[in-house]
Amino acid sequence: MTSPTVSVSPEAPVLGDASSSKPPASDEIVLRPARLSDIPIMGNICTDAYALNPVTAYLTPKAHMYREDNIQQHRQGCRRRFLNIRNLSIIACLASDPSTIVGFGQFSRLGDDHGAKQFIRDRGLRERVSIYTLSWFFYFYHIVENIIWPDRITHKARMKEFESWVADDNEIYWNSHPERGIRWYANSVIVSPQFQGKGIGKKIMLEGLKRAQDERVIMGLTASVEGEYLYRKVGFELLGTFSHRVPGDDKEGGGIMIWYPEGTNSKS
């Protein structure tokens, strides 16, 4: 099973690089739809990319002690999103070695408008049935997996508190604005640490933005301090900062961001 088709644009410009030079042809990065078999690697990339994140340190203080537990959490999250009928998952890999995955993005199409319904219809009956079946299979699979290998890294009280913070921000920036209900949402755009700074994140994001532009709908996301700078370079604007911050995260910046398609009056 694969995610919906993505376009390939090797010439995409660099995001966050000091130099505008492209990588050698042998290291050219291409995009393709994600496959279910990619999920384990996606989980590994998440674990490495978020290792030094203050939110990770706050919510999973023992993640450095039990790496496999951390991978399991990220793997399950990536799989749940992949098996959502509204999801678009994109893989970035080396053109010279497609088995080498260097990053990925997961986007969700929200709303009940024609565009959202068309996105679901375009996946075809066979794929929709397959996703429905697999989503239930892995729902129970994850339950069993978590019983056999229980979570040893999450601080339960902090996680519950953090989820309430996320709900607060969703209410402030999204739910209280009905006009923003129809949107694409960037769940995650993650690049393996050793491949960061080569424009791969921008390449993935531009593919998601192409979908939003074609449908003429907004895109939203949650940005870290570092992420805010990068997302601004592709046209995102800051709606507002987080209503709460985890202890130890003393950097200024980051928050809820929005992107408006060209040729619309969405800002008004």
Q: Where are the domains of the chain?
A: 25-259
Work out the pLDDT band at 10, boundaries 50, 70, 90.
Answer: very low
Which of 72-76, 215-219, 251-255 shows the lowest mean pLDDT across its residues?
251-255
Instruction: Locate 147 and state its tokens.
Output: 């019983």
Q: What percent of the chain has pLDDT over 90?
A: 81
Q: State the Cα–Cα distance between residues 111 and 177, nearest whole angstrom.
A: 13
Q: Which amino acid is present at 253? A: G
* Global model pTM greater than 0.85: yes
pLDDT tens profile 102-157 = 999 999 999 999 999 999 999 999 999 999 999 999 999 999 999 999 999 999 99
- DSSP assignment of the chain equals -BPSP----TTPPPSS-SS-PPPPGGG-EEEEE-BGGGHHHHHHHHHHHTTT-HHHHHH-TTTTT-HHHHHHHHHHHHHHHHTSTTEEEEEEEETTEEEEEEEEEEEEEESSSHHHHHHHHTT-HHHHHHHHHHHHHHHHHHHHHHHHS---S--HHHHHHHHHHHHHHHIIIIIT-GGGSSEEEEEEEEE-GGGTTSSHHHHHHHHHHHHHHHHT-EEEEEE-HHHHHHHHTTT-EEEE--S---TT------EEEEE--TT--TT-
pLDDT at residue 49 greater than cutoff 80: yes
CA distances from 24 to 7, 21, 91, 98, 198 (A): 21, 9, 20, 16, 11
CB 15 within 8 A of CB 234: yes
Task: Say if residues 34 and 82 touch (Cβ distance below 8 Å).
Answer: yes
Q: What percent of the chain has pLDDT over 70?
A: 90
Sign of torsion over alpha carbons 159, 66, 136, 125:
positive
CA distances from 217 to 36, 189, 233 (A): 28, 19, 19
∠ CA 12-18-23, nearest 5°, is 45
Q: Identify the pLDDT of residue 64.
A: 94
Q: Mention every residue, 6+ apart, whose C-beta is less than 8 A from residue 152.
A: 62, 65, 66, 69
Fold held by 25-259: Aminopeptidase (3.40.630)
Would you state the pLDDT for residue 251?
A: 82
